[in-house]
Structure 1
Amino acid sequence: MHMHTVTRATEIVLPAVGEPESLRIRVRELPPPGPGQAVVRMEASGVSFAEQQMRRGRYYDMPAFPFVPGYDLVGVVEELGPPVPGRPGVAVGDRVAALTKTGGWADRVLLDSRDLVPVPDGVSAADAETLVTNGATAWRMLFRTARVKAGDTVVVHGANGGVGSVLVQLARGHGVRVIGTASARNQLAVAAMGAEPVDYRGDVLARVRALAPQGVAAVFDHVGGKGVEDSWRMLAPGGTLVSYGSATTRDRAGSGTLTVLRLVARLAWWNVLPNGRGAHFFNLWAGKARRPERYRAELREDLGRVFALLRSGGIEARVDRVFPLSEAAAALRHAESGTAVGKVVITPDA
């Protein structure tokens, strides 16, 4: 007989489009985990760009309000539903990571155990949290989308950012030369990671051409907007542009969906031009609905490699500040202030 004690979850709810201060705290009973499900006690979640867009109603495919934000989490398996034959096993007490898209800002979360990725011993929950979304995104863009290899030269825009800094470290660790754009005050930090810094306020295209006259193997662009054309021009024949967002549009009115579709249409058009260059809009969730088992296996493999590098010191986890769950509004406000260096992490209240 599977005994279930009543499990209560404390959650942060985004009720409607609004300021961070509109977030609400809710306590509810979680249903017992069904077959193949797990209750995970959250140890660390975080603020990502997604929540900043969601609170403005501008995220590409967000759920209907009200909902619990939280793009990813790291935690400990607290309770398991009945096992399902042939599925990878997790055990009570295992530390795991999960990509959730929404739902992570809660002290307990009910998840499909197939979506849980093991976190190795010797890595703290907060450190692992900095690399769930950012690590999976960076690894997949480098090695699955752009397929970069040792000796290549690549451009990373926003090289000191959440994804950008992981891209730089992964690329350098694999023998790839990196040109990294960043603000004037972040040039030294970018250089310290082993990249060649370029101030993004200057003529970036001219600077990149001077550093890489033959063009580059890949450009990673999170900004979108007008600058994406310069990114395209930086590529060598056979090179790949990987666009993974439209950061320029966060504060604009209008539809986030339309912005993304415009960008995707432009990339698709470039993709058919006869010069062997490729343009891709990277979506971390692509393939999950169509080929869920393959998606989960790849995610487990990719995050496994990222966490192994974190444990061995091959990548640095950058935690900016840690906020308790009850102060999620302040965490979101701080993440949007432009002063954060590294991940803004949320942990359960003591």
Structure 2
Amino acid sequence: MRKVVIHRAGGHERLQIEEAPTPTPGPGELRIDVAAIGVNYADCVIRMGLYASAREYVGWPITPGFEVAGVVAALGAGVEGFVIGQEVIAVTRFGGYAAQICVPASQVFAVPQGLSLAEAAGLPTIFLTADHALHSLARARAGEWVLVHAAAGGVGSALVQLARQAGCHVVGVVGGAHKVAAARELGAEVVIDRSCEDLWGRARAAAPGGYAAIFDANGVSTLRASYRHLAPAGRLVIYGFHSMLPRRGGRPNYLKLAIDYLRTPWFSAMGLVNQNRSVLGFNLSYMFHRGDLLREAMGRILGGFAAGEMRMPAVSTYAMDEVARAHAELESARTVGKLVLLT
């Protein structure tokens, strides 16, 4: 079977497709014939050699990929509740860029009715990230004003929907005119196009009292201002640092990284207490030991899809042989919605 392998850090040319033996499921695992693979910005960071958990858990060479969809091909000993040929979604900690993969059954879920395998493959990472950010960390409540950066992207699209489902007022920030309609259709009451509008002026006008929660994966370019625009008892949730990384070329500029690292705000304990605000951060790849949280969150998310309360953002598909192009386009910040590889 074919899989994508990265032997060492670098640009898009490091994404090599290689042949590998068909894996055999161990006890408690099942093998999936993969039809579609979700592409996430974290995969690009892994390729650049900047993703800490990839170094800690795997090292080089590595096959990236946090999510797949396909059909059950084989069951390991002790696996119940699945049948050969069943369409499923799987959450993986790396290894997903492959035509076949073995996954613990506890990380596998039935595809909700009405979703294609391409849509299903793009569902877990963005919705699990959004669910944890909104419900576990920010604990958003009905009537609160929240601001979502990159509201037309993968995680941003999920955050907008989950926040509206929770009864929040949502302000979405996008980076281009072609993204405004997508954020609005997902439920953002106010959409700010930061490429041509005064981001923080419009944000203040929408919520003069500040925001109960702001969700920010930009890093140094917006973190300080995001924190300043929190309401009393507001929560800033950080889950990425995209503005520190390249939009073209595929290789990090280490001088820029160093400068941005020094410019990144550090929030003192005394300041947080005196200003009555919270800063929270997380990385889902460090949370696989909490299978209970994974299953609980996926239950909520899949239930929302089954009830018609959630929908996937726009999905753009690429052949596996186009993996480098998919990475390049995701890094460009021009894409809308979710990118998916088809095997």
TM-score, length of structure 2 as denominator length: 0.87
1:259 Cα deviation from its structure 2 partner: 9.3
1:92 Cα deviation from its structure 2 partner: 3.0
User: CA 1:193–1:33 in structure 2 vs 1: closer, same or farther (change >3 Å)?
Assistant: closer
Partner of 1:170: 162
Given the alignment of the two structures, is residue 205 of structure 1 paired with residue 197 of structure 2, yes or no?
no
Cα distance in 2 for partners of 1:115, 1:271 equals 40
Q: Which residue identity lines up with residue 100 of structure 1 in the other structure?
A: T
Kept in 1, the 8 Å contact 2:220–2:265? The answer is no
Partner of 2:311: 316
What's the CA shift string for 1:154-202, capped at 9, x where partnerless? 0111111111111111211222101111124033332333320123244
1:102 aligned residue (94, 99, 117):
94
Q: Gaps (5+ residues) in structure 1?
A: 1-8
Kept in 1, the 8 Å contact 2:223–2:265? The answer is no
Given the alignment of the two structures, is residue 70 of structure 1 paired with residue 84 of structure 2, yes or no?
no
1:101 Cα deviation from its structure 2 partner: 3.4
Q: Which residue identity lines up with residue 37 of structure 1 in the other structure?
A: E
1:113-132 to 2 correspondences below 5 Å:
113-132=105-124
Q: Secondary structure at the match of 1:300?
A: helix
Q: Secondary structure at the match of 1:68?
A: coil
Cα distance in 2 for partners of 1:71, 1:257 equals 25
User: CA 1:64–1:260 in structure 2 vs 1: closer, same or farther (change >3 Å)?
Assistant: farther
Given the alignment of the two structures, is residue 331 of structure 1 paired with residue 315 of structure 2, yes or no?
no
Given the alignment of the two structures, is residue 222 of structure 1 paired with residue 217 of structure 2, yes or no?
yes
Cα distance in 1 for partners of 2:192, 2:316 equals 27
User: CA 1:194–1:297 in structure 2 vs 1: closer, same or farther (change >3 Å)?
Assistant: same
Kept in 1, the 8 Å contact 2:221–2:243? The answer is no
Kept in 2, the 8 Å contact 1:157–1:164? The answer is yes
User: CA 1:66–1:244 in structure 2 vs 1: closer, same or farther (change >3 Å)?
Assistant: same
Q: Secondary structure at the match of 2:293?
A: helix
What's the CA shift string for 1:188-233, capped at 9, x where partnerless? 3323333201232444333222221111110000101042111111
User: CA 1:121–1:187 in structure 2 vs 1: closer, same or farther (change >3 Å)?
Assistant: closer
Q: Which residue identity lines up with residue 55 of structure 1 in the other structure?
A: R
Partner of 1:266: 266
Partner of 2:284: 284
1:287 Cα deviation from its structure 2 partner: 4.0
Cα distance in 2 for partners of 1:30, 1:260 equals 43
User: CA 1:38–1:170 in structure 2 vs 1: closer, same or farther (change >3 Å)?
Assistant: same
Q: Which residue identity lines up with residue 317 of structure 2 in the other structure?
A: V
User: CA 1:140–1:264 in structure 2 vs 1: closer, same or farther (change >3 Å)?
Assistant: farther
Cα distance in 1 for partners of 2:286, 2:263 equals 16
Kept in 1, the 8 Å contact 2:65–2:97? The answer is yes
Q: Secondary structure at the match of 2:20?
A: strand
Cα distance in 2 for partners of 1:92, 1:214 equals 55
Q: Gaps (5+ residues) in structure 2?
A: 247-251
Kept in 2, the 8 Å contact 1:154–1:218? The answer is yes
What's the CA shift string for 1:71-108, capped at 9, x where partnerless? 21122221111117xxx744433333222232111110
**313-322 vs 166-175, greater mean Cα deviation:** 313-322
1:42-191 to 2 correspondences below 5 Å:
42-62=34-54, 63-83=58-78, 89-185=81-177, 186-191=179-184
User: CA 1:261–1:133 in structure 2 vs 1: closer, same or farther (change >3 Å)?
Assistant: farther
Q: Which residue identity lines up with residue 36 of structure 1 in the other structure?
A: G
1:342 aligned residue (311, 333, 337):
337
Cα distance in 1 for partners of 2:187, 2:37 equals 29
Cα distance in 1 for partners of 2:20, 2:259 equals 36
1:268 Cα deviation from its structure 2 partner: 6.1
User: CA 1:335–1:274 in structure 2 vs 1: closer, same or farther (change >3 Å)?
Assistant: same
Q: Which residue identity lines up with residue 273 of structure 2 in the other structure?
A: L
Report percent identity of matched pairs.
34
1:34 aligned residue (26, 30, 39):
26
User: CA 1:137–1:337 in structure 2 vs 1: closer, same or farther (change >3 Å)?
Assistant: same
1:110 Cα deviation from its structure 2 partner: 1.5
User: CA 1:298–1:255 in structure 2 vs 1: closer, same or farther (change >3 Å)?
Assistant: farther
